[in-house]
Structure 1
Amino acid sequence: MTALETYVERIPTTIYPDSELASVAVARDIVQLMQQRQAEGRPCVLGLATGSTPTRLYEELVRLHQEEGVSFQNVITFNLDEYYPMAPDSLQSYVRFMHEYLFDHIDIRPENVHIPDGTVSAGEVADFGRRYEQQIVAVGGIDLQILGIGRTGHIGFNEPGSGPASRTRLITLDQITRTDAASDFFGEENVPRRAITMGVGTILEARAIVLLAWGEGKAAVVKRMVEGAMTDSVPATYLQKHPHVRVILDEAAAAELTQRKTPWLASLPCAWQNEALERKAVTWLARHVEKPILKLTEEDYNEHGLSALLAEAGSAYEINIKIFNQLQHTITGWPGGKPNADDTHRPERASPFPKRVLIFSPHPDDDVISMGGTLLRLVDQGHDVHVAYQTSGNIAVFDDEAIRFAEFASSYEQAFQLQGAPTESLYQRVVESLQQKAPGQVDSPDVQLIKGLIRQGEARSACRYAGLPDDHAHFMNLPFYETGRVRKKPLGEEDIKLTMELLNQLQPHQIYAAGDLSDPHGTHRVCLAAIMQAVQRLKAQDTDWLKDCWVWLYRGAWQEWGIEQIEMAVPLSPQELTRKRRAIFKHQSQKDRPLFPGADQREFWQRAEERNRTTARLYDHLGLPEYEAIEAFVRWQY
């Protein structure tokens, strides 16, 4: 794919449909560079990054080594950074990360691996930094530097304030960076306050640089990096100085770039026959000039870069009516389809009725947080609704909650003198295990079981509140999740098979799945991949029931669909919003303060209500009916 460069972009960007394709392409580029250096009789020096962004890239490099015989014998690596202090065998150590994801699975020489040492004394860090720089120079410099980007605009751990001449050094982590890392350390209080990092100047000396960014959560900072002025408040903007830098994005991370969000403002050619682009342009214009769609004038279009759209449409009146009707047709109070009604302009078909509905929930509360109002509507309107909880969610339970439930279980054992009770009570085992556990360490099997049962019980309670029979709650416990750690295994064959089995068992007419890829732990992303791969396999098998099944994607507590993307908008009354909140409250272990809140410190019910109300206000401002709240969905055409 060729990067689309415009005058607003200060760094060349290449946008791929998804991070999978992008990671594979970058891996191929790296191998080509390695082989070129090998033919020249000299080593290939790579600068490597850590974090969730490059993991798929490393998996592809491992595959190329194991399945296609690619050798890393001539490769020398230098990693960007490491937390400080940090023992190399710690769970959160970048030494451990690199070995788990890459070095232990390829034939790289151990002496060719260089990672900042998180164990040196504070007084030795400066000398260590100078030696690290000298080692890079001694091997001829870095040929290709791989980067990610943090929400503060940091590259490596070069936080805001880092200048273009900065070198390898000890730095203090920004509060946002520590918040983003909290999930890896099971709480922000456990995140180190400092780190050793290559400097911006060190990075800029690499002969070539590739920066990777995935997901909606990176879209805002990517825009600042690619289109904004150079400033040390966003250190990544200094990449604009480099002559050979590329930014590799998926569609979600590119969403805020002018070429994707408002290409008409960059005088880019626009295919106005594309209805999605038309809707994006008209809704943007209405919001920009603060008018309902039906009040937009030809002057509004001409004065804001949309004269070509106006010329294509013929008149402002015609394009206004067209887009207004499109938005109006997304609104429905019947998410399962309205029986015996004309469904020509409805987002869901009327027949069959009632429908068998399967709602996939990545964690045990995503169903009610993200689409609780729609779930309640589906049940109230007589559909056969099932909920499939894809993971146990056990790591998101506080330790003291596990102790409380273990104490209850032990008291129950004692009170009723159950036969076969262990000589050492469950309570004692759990307390001792948690007292001996370091932050971020894997829970004991007892503790994992209890935490999983807590989440399972809460999910059942929410289902009962919504009116679902107990046997309509399905707990899949997908294997990829069950590591006891924030870092999960890659999606595996067993995960896909379990998903296919449930789909074949229920044979739904409607599937709802989480399309929210901003989840900071990546669980939503893997769960969606499991569903998509399962559906695609069933389609390839020409499965009969699938031919009459529609898939709707919702978004969770992190992000909402853009107004131009929404294909089904389910309005909620004040009473329905209250019922949704009560369903969320059934998840007591996540109430008041979730263990992994991400960057938003509000409770999940607060985020969900604000997002739903914001969507309703947006419809209202565009001239559509006024509602208390709206839940939004996009249909996946598989």
Structure 2
Amino acid sequence: MARLNLLEETRYEKLPVTVYPDQYEASKKVANKIKEIILQKQSIGKNAVLGLATGATPVDVYAELVKMHKEDGLSFKNVITFNLDEYYPMQPDSKQSYVAFMDENLFSHIDIKRENIHIPDGTLPKEDIANYCLEYENKIEEMGGIDLQILGIGRTGHIGFNEPGSAPNSGTRLVTLDDLTRRDASRDFGGKENVPTKAITMGIGTIFKAREIILMAWSRKKASIIKKAVEGEISGKVPATYLQLSDNVKFVLDREAASELTRFNTPWLVKDCIWDKNLIKKAVIWLSSEIEKPILKLTDEDYNSHGMAQLATEQGPAYDINIDVFNQLQHSITGWPGGKPNADDSQRPERAEPAHKRSLIFSPHPDDDVISMGGTFIRLVDQGHEVHVAYQTSGNTAVWDTDVLRYIEFTIDFNKSIGQDTQKLKDIYSRMRDFLKTKKPNETDLPEIRDVKAFIRKSEAYAGARYAGLQDTNIHFMALPFYETGKSEKNPVKAIDVELTMELLQEIKPQQVFAAGDFDDPHGTHIVCFRIVLEAMKRLRETEEWTKDCWLWMYRGAWDEFETHDIEMAVPLSPIEVQRKRNAIFQHQSQKDHPVFPGDDQREFWMRAQERNRETAENYHKLGLANYEAMEAFVRWKF
């Protein structure tokens, strides 16, 4: 019976999918599978041939294999590896090369024989590549073929660097990279303009020859392409769909990457559900959006004809369900984000007491506060709450080099105008110019350059917070140590990051904490900063009584927005408040027009925030609620 239920649940899925709670558990399972193959081959005196991938996805698998080698004595002397791909042109000693990646994450930490490592050669003359690719294929066959090929998946649906348009029988070859693929790689290269336009990759036909194939994917960023790869029609537009043709493939996902699969996103379409309050709310909002009818106009027939007959039968009639969900949405809307004084708060998202709260806004970068919740920030101040803002990082990697020179030139002229000696400044300026003339992509800046970039962001943060109405005493610059590397990749979080956060929380003792919950930030700073806040609050809750009355609200806006069914507090903004928010964002001049790290969304941050806030308001209106100019959305973290 359980088997039949699973088949029913996964009937939209065209290949086997295993979902784990998180990427770490999933990575351990894949590493254990690799270990089994290595040991099985060792037991019969043969080599294990592995096809390996690069990028963020397999990093934890490699870390687990290294751990197995160092702690359990797993030997890799009988292992032969073939990597999927390499950028072209690419020097093997370049930091961005996959040779460097594999050494850093796996090969330099295990006992594999160097002659058993095969990675496409990015240094070849172009005229030699065709023959080299043929030899690469022949070498795989000479070694007996690949026992296990591990794959990641790009947002274009590419596997290896087989971009849209690749043929299912393609072999190892030189390819041109899709623009989206290059944009996704831009962080590692210090800008898309530095990412190679080509790569050498194993073909889809080459991958198909492996005896087993495991495709891994983590995070919500991969959810939409995973749905297409698993449930979509086979198409050259999404090369990963060709894996549906293989009998030897398995997808290994974390919950976030699997979140758009039918069995997780709209489970009522494939099985009977246990209808709790949250699932009912999600389903009714989905139905309203699906058939473009306001919630209060949905009928039993609408439920029955769209896979929700069970809900209508068990919890209905439909109108009663509609009323309940409509009221939940209506109660999430409040013009009092700090709570409305002397009001019945039983149906409001925030408490009425204390009437004037201490609110602490944690901002990962020096502009996330006003970009993501600028209207709420201003309203909290206007309504008399004691608002503090804490900028968790300096944001010094996200400033153009030309801005540094401009500010130093200004400083030299200013000092000269007031009769100060400028020779030392001129010497520093000269060193900066010399360095920047030969600076390589992603090269760490001189300490003086990092400082100036931090000062620029700090001055803008002051301007933005002051515009929102704060006194300087309520503006806090944390400069958490994990971030201060001068590079896009950061140090691991250490105890000091949490301790500094605990100290600030203890100093302010807020009743409200706001923290960035949009984890689609491509550089990962937001989720790191959130985890630091969460850990600090968890520790304080063990000993500090005041924390029991401290609520943690998550905001989004810079990179993403909450789904309507998840929103627990929606703060409506008038046209004037939208303008005030925009003006606060405009104080961050270094991030205007064309920020250093725009991510995949090419709109300016103020435009993204404004349009997302407007879309949130429109979504509420389409469901049958009041028509506001814009809304900022929040979800409360439950400890």
TM-score, normalised by the number of residues in structure 2: 0.94
What is the match of residue 462 of structure 1?
A: 464
2:266 paired with 1:271: no
Q: Distance in 2 between matches of 1:332 and 1:296?
A: 25
Deviation at 1:26, TM superposition (A): 3.0
- Are positions 1:320 and 2:361 aligned together? no
Cα shift at 1:526: 2.0
Partner in structure 2 of residue 201 of structure 1? 205
Once the two structures are TM-superposed, the CA of residue 417 in structure 1 deviates from its matched residue by: 5.3
In the TM superposition, what are the counterparts of 1:277-292 in structure 2 within 5 Å? 277-292=279-294
After superposition, the Cα gap between the structure-2 partners of 1:36 and 1:307, relative to the gap in structure 1 and judged at 3 Å, is: same
User: How far apart, in 2, do the equivalents of 1:180 and 1:533 lie?
Assistant: 30
Q: How much has 1:407 moved relative to structure 2?
A: 1.5
Shift of 1:296: 0.6
AA partner of residue 607 (structure 1): R
1:308 maps to amino acid: Q
User: Are the counterparts in 2 of residues 361 and 514 from structure 1 also a CA contact under 8 Å?
Assistant: yes
Q: Tell me the equivalent position of 2:138.
A: 134
**Gaps in structure 1 of 5+ consecutive residues:** none
Distance between the aligned counterparts of 1:56 and 1:535, measured in 2?
27
Are the structure 2 counterparts of residues 423 and 467 from structure 1 closer, same or farther at C-alpha, using a change threshold of 3 Å? Answer: closer
Aligned counterparts of 1:384 and 1:58: Cα–Cα separation in 2: 48
Of 487, 490, 495, the residue aligned with 2:489 is: 487
SS for the counterpart of 2:174 is: strand
% identical equivalent positions: 59
Following superposition, the deviation at residue 256 of structure 1 comes to 1.9
The C-alpha deviation readout for 1:117-155, integer Å capped at 9, x for no partner, is 211111121222222223322333222222111111111
Equivalent-residue separation in structure 1 for 2:22 and 2:509 (angstroms):
29
**After superposition, where does 1:332-411 map in structure 2 within 5 Å?**
332-411=334-413
- Kindly indicate whether the alpha-carbon contact (under 8 Å) linking 1:53 and 1:148 is maintained by their aligned counterparts in 2: yes
User: 1:186, 1:595 within 8 Å by CA — same for their partners in 2?
Assistant: no
Instruction: Rate the CA distance shift 1:56–1:475 in 2: closer, same or farther, 3 A.
Output: farther
1:236 to 235, 240, 246: 240
2:158 is matched with which residue: 122, 140, 154?
154
Query: Residue 157 of structure 1 aligns to a residue in which SS?
Result: coil
Q: Secondary structure at the match of 2:335?
A: coil
Q: Which residue of 2 aligns with 1:600?
A: 601
The 1:431/1:491 distance shift into structure 2, 3 A limit, reads same
The aligned residue for residue 590 of structure 2 is 589
Report the equivalent of 1:617: 618
1:444 matches 2:477: no
Matches within 5 A, 1:426-441: 426-441=428-443
Q: Structure 2: any 5+ residue segments left out of the alignment?
A: none
State the Cα distance separating 1:443 from its structure 2 match.
1.5
Query: Does the 8 A contact of 1:91 with 1:440 survive in 2?
Result: no
Conserved? CA contact 1:167–1:201, under 8 Å: yes
Query: Once the two structures are superposed, what CA deviation does each residue of 1:191-219 show, in whole Å capped at 9, x if it has no partner?
Result: 11111111111112222222222223222
Q: 2:80 aligns with which of 67, 76, 82?
A: 76
State the Cα RMSD in Å. Answer: 2.2
Give 1:504's aligned residue: 506
Distance 1:546 1:47, change over 3 A: farther
Cα distance change, pair 110–259 in 1 and its aligned pair in 2 (3 A): same
* Structure 2: distance between partners of 1:35 and 1:507: 55
Residue range with higher mean Cα deviation, 444-453 or 130-139: 130-139
Question: Contact 1:47/1:77 (CA < 8 Å) preserved in 2?
Answer: yes
Q: Alpha-carbon deviation of 1:64? A: 4.1
Check conservation: 1:369, 1:557, Cα contact below 8 A. yes
Moved more, 377-386 or 624-633: 377-386
Structure 1 residues 208 and 502: CA distance shift in structure 2, 3 A: farther
Determine the structure 1 residue equivalent to 2:218.
Answer: 214
Matched, 1:181 2:185: yes
Q: 2:300 aligns with which of 276, 298, 308?
A: 298
Q: Is structure 2 residue 22 aligned with structure 1 residue 18?
A: yes
Task: Please give the per-residue CA displacement for 1:461-483, whole angstroms capped at 9, x wherever unaligned.
Answer: 11111111223222222233233
Contact 2:366 2:458 (8 Å CA) reproduced: yes
Q: Is the 8 A contact 1:88 1:94 kept in 2?
A: yes
Amino acid at match of 2:140: I
Superimposed CA distance per residue, residues 45-87 of structure 1 (whole angstroms, 9 cap, x where no aligned partner)? 3322222223333334334444555444443322211111111
User: Greater shift after overlay, 520-529 or 55-64?
Assistant: 55-64
Of 514-523 and 622-631, more deviation after overlay is shown by: 514-523
Contact 1:409 1:427 in 2 (8 A): no
Kept in 2, the 8 Å contact 1:463–1:473? The answer is yes
Shift of 1:418: 4.2
Aligned equivalents of 1:63, 1:494: Cα separation in 2 = 26
3-state SS, counterpart of residue 422 of structure 1 = helix
- Secondary structure of 1:243 counterpart: coil
User: Relative to 1, partners in 2 of residues 1:552 and 1:109: Cα closer, same or farther, differing over 3 Å?
Assistant: farther
**Which of 475, 478, 484 does residue 477 from structure 2 map onto?**
475
Query: How has the CA–CA distance of structure 1 residues 99 and 497 changed in structure 2, closer, same or farther, with 3 Å as cutoff?
Result: farther
Alpha-carbon distance in structure 2 between the residues aligned to 1:513 and 1:577: 21
Write the deviation string for residues 221-275 of structure 1: whole angstroms up to 9, x where unpaired: 111100011111111111112223222223332232111222222x322111x11
Contact persistence 1:570–1:631 (CA under 8 A): yes
Cα distance in structure 2, aligned partners of 1:95 and 1:259 = 39
Which whole-Å deviations, capped at 9, do the CAs of 1:467-517 have from their partners, x for residues lacking one? 112232222222332332223333333333333333333332222111112
Contact 2:557 2:612 (C-alpha < 8 Å) held by counterparts: no
What is the distance in 2 between the residues matched to 1:158 and 1:372?
A: 42
Give 3-state SS (helix, strand or coil) of 1:78's partner. Answer: strand
Contact 1:264 1:270 in 2 (8 A): yes
Distance apart, 1:628 and its partner CA: 0.6
Match of 2:571 in 1: 570
Cα deviation, residue 459, structure 1: 1.0
Shift, 1:156, TM fit:
1.0
User: Partners in 1 of 2:572 and 2:195 — Cα distance?
Assistant: 41
Q: How far apart are 1:159 and its partner, in Å?
A: 0.5
